[in-house]
A and B are shown apart, each in its own frame.
Chain A
């Protein structure tokens, strides 16, 4: 719908945006917002999102293997699968057969209900680290609303210091935990969909540079228009915007910029 108050997204049309936080498929919790592949691609087009790392709701809400099968059935050159990972040996073997570039840990008690600690997930995490596979894990899954959750993240970052980790859905109240960890753990990165306190993104870049923040939208639950507007209006360099919009994720995935 065009009009005099249509958002001007022309600035982002050549940003080659790569979204690190997108979900696909039916949802038992968010049924009114869930999107199948074709509709998801249309919505990505509307916001100039070229490529997305995509997990499957069925994997998150029901069963990792079934969700991974559904994800495999929705292959598209613009969608990079984030496979759901479980800690058991047989699951690690099944995951390895998919030759993953990205995995998502859904370890919360309300999801797959396992610990990210070495005594539980050691074999899985060793495999992921050895293969330099990008690991996505959400605030909810690490229980970062509690100090114990942050301690669990510290253990993960310390014990697997070559494992690239991206925190998803990081809340805007996180900086008193996040900033000390960014200083200590170079393998820590975060996604920006809810990193939305007043001028927070600017202040992060001023303190740390732009290399650790990755653009994410939470499609289909959130509108990309919100996180995009935050990035567009941030008073940071064009280079920093391009890095956050997709350059950092391409670097982590060793993907050709084109």
Chain B
């Protein structure tokens, strides 16, 4: 299954992961799969940064952006600990993209998204109109979608991507509730839970303009998300918004 239009993918990685084997996960092997599925550009964060070492992980992203500038977009991944490191990383890698793309992973970094050590990141995002991809999970005390509502309210210039949209059906409902109340939030559909009719449900609730295609490649199989979107019972125009136009519009503004 190949997308008839080139996809702009908001959620990808480079690197491996600790708890299961990484298959065919070199950048060149990822490019082969991107060509196979017609993914024109993939926004990447380093899994090394998500799990362990942000400075070194962000350097890995910098190298990939240098090597393949037309195929990848780079998130700067930040950890709220140690305090002060995050903003230094954001400033150091500010050349990745304008406006900045920022990734935070409260689960891996074991720190709540509404904790005080994240405040400098949210201030920076608010000042720069950054796009912030937040890993979310249904009702999780560190990253439950509902935690993002007050943050979106307090930092209205930051554009918040609810990563995985909360994952479970209930998590999606929480993400939709946040999106309905806060126009600076959008849903990223990357995830392994392929709920039947969830794409249609989200489009009905918040409109296709607030939904982004994410694959989580090379963590998850990108064809999984592609199949969900292409076989959903929404219009082709709505699919095009999700697969391509929405993220392009977001990162260009």
Contact = CB atoms under 8 A, between A and B. Distances in A.
Interface string B50-73: 000000000000000000000000
Interface stretch (A94-102, A106-114, A227-235, A241-249): A227-235
A147 to B, nearest CB: 13
B1 A202 contact: no
Interface in A42-61: 43, 46-47
Given A7-B1, A197-B221, A225 B228 contact: yes
A198 B25 contact: yes
B4 interface: yes
Contact of A198 (B19, B218, B243): B218
Contacts of A7: 1, 227, 230-231
The DSSP consensus for interface residues of chain B is loop
B154 interface: no
A198 B195 contact: no
Nearest to A177: B20
B127 interface: no
Contacts of B3: 5
Interface stretch (B102-110, B116-124, B233-241): B233-241
A175 interface: yes
B234 A222 contact: no
B155 to A, nearest CB: 33
B247 interface: no
A93 to B, nearest CB: 37
Contacts, number: 140
Contacts of A220: 196
B33 A229 contact: no
Contacts of A173: 19-20
Given A5-B243, A7-B231, A198-B25, A222 B194 contact: yes
A209 B194 CA distance: 26
Interface in A195-211: 196-203
B230 A5 contact: yes
A234 to B, nearest CB: 8
Which of B222, B227, B230 has the largest count of A CB atoms less than 10 A from its CB? Answer: B227
Given A197-B20, A198-B219, A198-B221, A5 B5 contact: yes
B232 interface: yes
A38 interface: no
A109 to B, nearest CB: 20
A244 B45 CA distance: 33
Interface in B12-46: 19-25, 29, 33, 36-37
B160 interface: no
Interface residues of A, number: 46
Q: How large is the interface on B (under 10, 10 to 19, 20 to 34, 35 or more residues)?
A: 35 or more
A222 B221 CA distance: 16
B164 to A, nearest CB: 14
B251 interface: no
A172 interface: yes
Contacts of B206: none
A174 B20 contact: yes
Interface in A63-119: none
A254 interface: no
Contacts of A239: none
Nearest to A193: B194
B243 A223 contact: no
A176 B20 contact: yes
Interface in A140-175: 171-175
B85 interface: no
Interface string B183-200: 000000000111111000
Interface string A128-145: 000000000000000000
Contacts of B225: 226
B234 to A, nearest CB: 7
Nearest to A203: B23
B20 A230 contact: no
A41 to B, nearest CB: 15
B86 interface: no
Given A222-B194, A227-B227, A233-B223, 10 more contacts: A5-B243, A172-B20, A175-B21, A203-B21, A219-B196, A226-B225, A229-B224, A229-B230, A230-B223, A235-B36
Q: Closest 6 CB pairs between A and B?
A: A229-B227, A225-B231, A3-B236, A226-B194, A7-B230, A198-B218
9 contacts: A3-B235, A197-B20, A197-B220, A198-B218, A226-B224, A229-B231, A230-B224, A233-B36, A235-B36
